[in-house]
Structure 1
């Protein structure tokens, strides 16, 4: 069972403070023993922002920082913001708003530039980028890769991690090499919504038992997440905020104490340079 000295981190979830559960989801997480959160900004258009310039993303980032501040009032540990531009925006720009792929690339890179300002000023922990997880034409794919590599450039300059939303795969060594070319160690690239096996970046494993069993058996660095989306139109989508604490209990009950330490203490420090134990003690 989770005790008072066990950090429990959900590495990737979204909260909507205005239109759905918001801080109540944090209460659910904390009640079951959750202590730390990495809160990723929702896609800009989900918050009513149809960006025309990079500066337009600032309202999305500020709202995310607001909910992180509120979450910190409830958690025994703490929360951090992860800020960036959802890669699915490129399809919205090209297919719905008539942008050319290179115009969409430039706008999304400008949004990443604004997110990087928050990392540089220590208001955010890491960046978010990636590429579509669905089929797109070559021009959109190339533009998306350019946006992702732009995020890696900031990651290399700032010494921060980059979380990726990308296609389902167990092999992203080329992407990890791009990050290293930009000055980022491969392990500071995090693939969110990952399976238990991934070559290249660090996997942020979706917290179902099948995927976790694979990650535990491999013994490599990994993180745990829910990708909770806090969407009133999709209340059962992905995993709920109680899931990571429940899965940590399940791991502990099955004797996987080392795996819990791996996912909730060692890998967060390796990837983000954060100490979940020290922040828990200080709380």
Structure 2
């Protein structure tokens, strides 16, 4: 049976509206050891954002709750900070032009890169809308994503992407490489079991996890838990990745689980989930 680290690669903790670090305690009680904590959209935490200060406030809230979670885990918790791609639609609805909205979002990415460079965050979050938008908004969103790739290359970190569904993201990986970021440092959040281009962060549904375990490509496991008191289990609850890990171990997937929880985190983020588990 697999008895190594268990990482949820994409989970939200909301100390303003939700359970905050208590959800991390539930993850640990279920057998989880490590978390990558993504900031919730800025409008969920601080309301409307029109300058860098709003992003800083959002990020500081996330850093603080991640530190609280870190104290509750047998391993570590790391913040992953950035700008939710749906912000562009909110800004356009408020009167921003697409290019003007993109400039503000790029400023938020710059702040996230500062936090990574100072060691306060592990990686950057970016992407593009997962719903239909006007061509100008789509183009501006791609500009923001490419800016995130460029800044990540400068500070030496990975980028987690929130995008539309599907499996063909080869062009996105090529954009990252054009901006100086290796494709192995581009992670497709809420992935199916396989993605062409970036590294898939597989939503912890049994069928998709079985598909990922059946191949030889690197992958992560995630819940995308959103810590919303009105939707307590959405998207998946914090116990899910530890439970799915045990289920996969019982099915004989120990090698793939080591890939998801040890090898891929080291390859993508430069983190050692085994050493940080032993340290604690």
TM-score, reference length from structure 1: 0.97
Gaps of 5+ in 1: none
1:79 to 77, 80, 97: 77
- Quote how far apart the aligned CAs of 1:143 are: 0.4
Q: Is 1:64 aligned with 2:62?
A: yes
* Cα distance between partner residues in 2 of 1:20 and 1:156: 33
- Mapping of residues 251-270 of structure 1, within 5 Å: 251-270=248-267
Distance 1:222 1:86 in 2: 22
> How big is each residue's C-alpha offset from its partner over 1:24-81, in whole Å with a ceiling of 9 and x where there is no partner?
1111100111000000000000013311112320000000000111011110000000
Where 2:171 maps in the other structure, the secondary structure is helix
Matched, 1:186 2:183: yes
Q: Which residue of 1 aligns with 2:13?
A: 15
User: Is the contact between residue 46 and residue 54 of structure 2 (CA under 8 Å) also seen in structure 1?
Assistant: no
CA distance in 1, matches of 2:40, 2:54: 14
Q: What are the within-5 Å matches in structure 2 for residues 143-158 of structure 1?
A: 143-158=140-155
2:271 to 265, 270, 274: 274
Aligned to 1:109: 106
Give the Å deviation of 1:2.
Answer: 5.5
Do structure 1's residue 211 and structure 2's residue 236 form an aligned pair?
Answer: no
Q: 1:233: how far off? A: 2.3
- 2:91 is paired with a residue of what secondary structure? helix
Contact 2:46 2:57 in 1 (8 A): no
8 Å CA contact retained: 1:49, 1:57:
no
Q: Is the 8 A contact 1:180 1:186 kept in 2?
A: yes
- Aligned-residue offset at 1:82: 0.2
Listed one character per residue, the Cα deviations across residues 81-131 of structure 1 (whole Å, up to 9, x for unaligned) are 000000000011112x11110110000000001111000001000000000
Relative to the length of structure 2, the TM-score reads 0.98
Mapped contact 1:39–1:80 kept (Cα < 8 A):
yes
Q: Which residue does the alignment assign to 1:44? A: 42
Correspondence for 1:34:
32
Task: Give the structure 2 partner of residue 92 of structure 1.
Answer: 90
Q: Please say if residues 55 and 114 of structure 1, whose CA atoms lie closer than 8 Å, have aligned partners that are also in contact.
A: no
Give, in whole Å, the separation in 2 of the partners of 1:135 and 1:20.
29
SS at match of 1:39: strand
Whether the 8 Å contact between 1:49 and 1:60 is mirrored in structure 2 is no
CA distance in 2, matches of 1:105, 1:54: 13
2:169 to 165, 172, 175: 172
- Aligned mates of 2:251, 2:88 — CA distance in 1: 43
Match of 1:122 in 2: 119
Q: Please tell me whether the aligned partners of residues 207 and 226 of structure 1 are also in contact (alpha carbons under 8 angstroms).
A: yes
- Give the ranges of 4+ consecutive aligned residues of structure 1 lying more than 4 Å apart after TM superposition: none
Residue 152 of structure 1: CA displacement? Answer: 0.3
* Counterparts of 1:129 and 1:251, CA distance in 2: 30
CA distance in 1, matches of 2:56, 2:151: 17
Q: Could you list the runs of 5+ residues in structure 2 that have no partner in the other structure?
A: none
Which of 214, 234, 247 does residue 244 from structure 2 map onto? 247
1:19 CA drift (Å): 1.6
SS of the residue corresponding to residue 248 of structure 1 reads helix
